[in-house]
Structure 1
Amino acid sequence: MSTQQTISKHLDKSVIWLFVIVFLISASVFAYRYKNYKTCEDVAFTVKAKEFRVGELIKFTDNTDQAANWEWDFGDSTDVKTNKEVLHIFNKEGEYKVRLLVNNICQDEKTVTIKEKLFIIDSTKLPVFNVKSSIVVGETLNVEDKTNNASTWEWRFGETTRVNSVEKRASYVYKTPGLKTISLVVNGDVKHTTTKQINVLPIEKKEERISEITGTNRRLGDGIKARPLGYEDKDKEKTKDEPSDKPKVVPFIGDSQFISKLELVSNNKLDANAFKEYFCGDINKNIIVNGKNTSFLIFCEKIKNKKLRIKDITIYREKGSNCINTVTISQNKILGIF
């Protein structure tokens, strides 16, 4: 037998053995994977929490049959967790897509909405000041803050949207009558704002007393002239046309138009003064937003440059005048407020 034929036979056997070895290895791997394979046709997990808010503990539990391993991704850039049941805390409000990967194959996803942290008013942080019940237009109102550890002040006296004073002791002269709301913010903490009301009275007009009546003596009937035919008493006509003492009627604004104007305020296209006529001049009246008391003026300041979504609104008016007394608003939570 020649040398070339011997080499060919040897190579043929080597190739055959190589194929046999590869086949056995592949079969072993397949058998191992088949033995350890876990199905996960219906991936399902539950989410439970006392409240879905920032800082609250939330429990995630997988209920998938034949699940062997898990990978939880909470959508907030935190580390992946690998247990069947995990606890998680979200540090910011918003919507998060929580993904669960089971057995490295099957996946389920749920959206979890986290609300802002529930704010509890600390009464010890509320500004302290006193104000008298009434004052007359043109008189000087003096107020003083008595809050402990206060270093900055923002006084608003209810006639404009601007801050009227930034001193501990403030003075103000009202130019228009009406019920005004005074608000004070100290140390920049707008969540702890104290508001008080003062009734601004109009200036009383002094009546001149008649000390003496002088005149000439006339005989009865002197100077009296007969009225011509067709004469009408113009003074009587004026009396008929004169308005009675009825309350001043302000323009009526509907709920949808009110919301549209608030959206323009949130987009910085209007300010609280756009509502002045509807509030009979007092845009600093108390309103209720998501169950919390605030003033309309402060509410307009807070919603500027924020995405406003009002769910419901109720406007309470004075009978006969359309003057708005107060408003209750239900809205989606906005970052940093209410």
Structure 2
Amino acid sequence: MNKTNQIKTHFDLKIIVFFIVIFIVSCGLLAFKINEKAVCTVKEFKVDAPSFRTGELITFSDDSKNSYEWRWYFGDGTKISYRSKVAHAFSKPGKYTVKLLVNNNCTVEQTITITAKNDVLDAALFPKFKSPKIVYQGDIVKFSDSTAHAKSWEWRFGDSQKIDALEKNPSYVYKTPGEKKVSLVVNGDIKYVKYASIVVLPAKKEQKDLVKERLERRGSARGDAVKEYFDKLPDAPKRSPEIANIDEEKFKKMLLGVSADQLSYENLTRYFCEDNLPLVQLKGGKSMSLKALDESVRNRGINVKKVTLQRDKDNCVTVILLNYKYKTIF
């Protein structure tokens, strides 16, 4: 009898306490949810900025009562912000819908328009160069720069987007006719780029000298041995006007331009004698042609440590002593 009463008393007390706790917790959660919905009174948020342009900070804030949790969505793919007051900058112009989620159940939106930022440029910093208006295909075209503050030059002559020359007063030969846009950047400042247009006309056609042709035909008929001898002699080696301007420092910059795929092999060879391109001698004793060097470093980052150029009596570079290494992430 006593044993039965003890078991019943123990069982009843546990069950009662358990249900009382569950009831109290449920009532608390229900009251919290009802109260949370009741305080959803946020209708708008504040937007503060001197101007709405790309790259400039805009302040967004919410100071409504009973707010304790915020989520900001800026509509430009950036991360969510979780504070009552945040600053954000848009990188591109356009219309953006900014959303704010308060207490995880109140949502408000505003649409703002972002315009492009117009940089104020100093006209005195633009390059000043001279170039002809009309040239002929195959002729040597000369350019000259008179920019007072220039220390380095990047010329593009309109045949491609690559850098064609790095010196102050370069020369260039157009191989195709048409309208070309020449550009110059000095000191590496791409904001201050100067443009000029050149019309390249088809190569001039040589007028026939009828008297000369008759004499040549007569001489050929007689089998003029002297004329045949001179006709078989090879043409004199071609000398580009740029070969006198190449030095160690300039070749180093040109090689870096090749490694960045900004200077073509054709424009690189213009600084060397066409009939006698130099041999490249590397630090470890390995030798290679200029073409092989171009293929080896193109599209690969390099650090050039030392360059030495050896010339012959005609001022042609015959040997390039070169020490460089490839860049790595370590």
User: Is TM more than 0.5 here?
Assistant: no
TM-score (norm 1): 0.43
Higher helix share: 2
TM-score (norm 2): 0.44
